[in-house]
Amino acid sequence: MTKQEKALWAAVMVLSAGLLFMGSWMVFSGALSREGLSREEGSGSSAVAMVQEQAITEEAWSRELKRRYGSEVLLTMMNRQVAALEAEQANITVAPEEIEQELDRMAQSYGSRERFLEAMAQLGLSEEVLKEETEYRLLLEKIATADVKVSSSEIDQYLEDHPDQFVPKKQLDLSLIKVEEEPLANELLDRLEDGEDFAALAAEHSIDEYTREDGGRLGLIEEDDPFQPQELMETVLELSSGDIAGPIALEDGFGIVYVKRILVPAAPDPKLTRETVRRQLALERSESLSQLEQRLRSKYEARMLAGASPAPFRQP
């Protein structure tokens, strides 16, 4: 999987899974309106959370989730149902082994299925959700490209024109402590050399709000990741697994980096690579998957009924 494909896939997966699961945290965010709060006593609906002596009821929770995300979730359900109808009519199926093969293909640049699942877990995606979303995407792609043919010579030409696209990238499992002043960075380096825990020092001293709560962990970073500071990447590419280095002058402070491990993926399976190219070329010649979903909703007369759209937000 290329870096661009990986980023797009992760974004789509997060958005799709989020429509079904992200609403639950809103219960505890303080964004529920006053009408969603009721005393535990006398409530006609069971409580799902408590705020001091006040209960947030299951009914209020469901109502708020429906108001905020109802139309999006309903649209997702409609899309899946019309896709299933079209697949049944066209005798198109996705076999379990195809899902496994697709997950293997996506995991190629991570070096193993285990590392791929670990990276997806960092995005909040379980293996079960990955399989469900993969099955649906494969089904849509099969419907979209049912009448599209791609020759072996076209695949050969694409591989010749894009020699670097399927070259696996080295990945580094990194953690970072970022501080404002260089003297503090040097002090923390001394403490690390004395055996203090990197994650504990990151949680206590790092000013990086995105990694501090997770002990400074950046996770798996590709060797040419354009979203990481150049100064940081130049340093870590000279390090080995287990090394700690710093201070690194960054745009907004000074960094100390820890390289937990370095992963070098194996060469990609040629068969999977050719299948990836075939699908990519076929999809380029077909309508987009979102256009396909829209067309299928029209074909099977899928529509939202009155009351399905979310109500306007009202301040408590």
Owning domain of residue 41: 3-23+32-158+270-299
The reply to whether 275 and 259 lie within a common domain is no
The reply to whether 116 and 249 lie within a common domain is no
How far is 302 from 41, CA to CA, in rounded Å? 42
The reply to whether 114 and 238 lie within a common domain is no
The reply to whether 129 and 250 lie within a common domain is no
Q: What is the CATH number of the domain that holds 186?
A: 3.10.50.40
Q: pLDDT (tens digit, 9 = 90+) per residue, 231-279?
A: 999 999 999 999 999 899 998 899 999 999 998 877 778 888 898 899 9
Q: Answer whether residue 96 is part of any domain.
A: yes
Q: Answer whether residue 248 is part of any domain.
A: yes
Please tell me the total count of domains within the chain: 2
Q: pLDDT (tens digit, 9 = 90+) per residue, 66-121?
A: 888 788 888 999 999 999 999 999 999 999 999 998 898 888 767 678 878 888 88
Q: H-helix or E-strand containing 205? A: helix 198-205
In this prediction the pTM is 0.60
Residue 17 has a CB neighbour count (10 Å cut-off) of 18
The reply to whether 110 and 218 lie within a common domain is no
The reply to whether 285 and 146 lie within a common domain is yes
Q: Answer whether residue 164 is part of any domain.
A: no
Contacts of 114 (CB under 8 A, 6+ apart): none
Q: Answer whether residue 315 is part of any domain.
A: no
Q: Answer whether residue 237 is part of any domain.
A: yes
CB 218 within 8 A of CB 172: no
How far is 206 from 186, CA to CA, in rounded Å? 13
The reply to whether 146 and 254 lie within a common domain is no
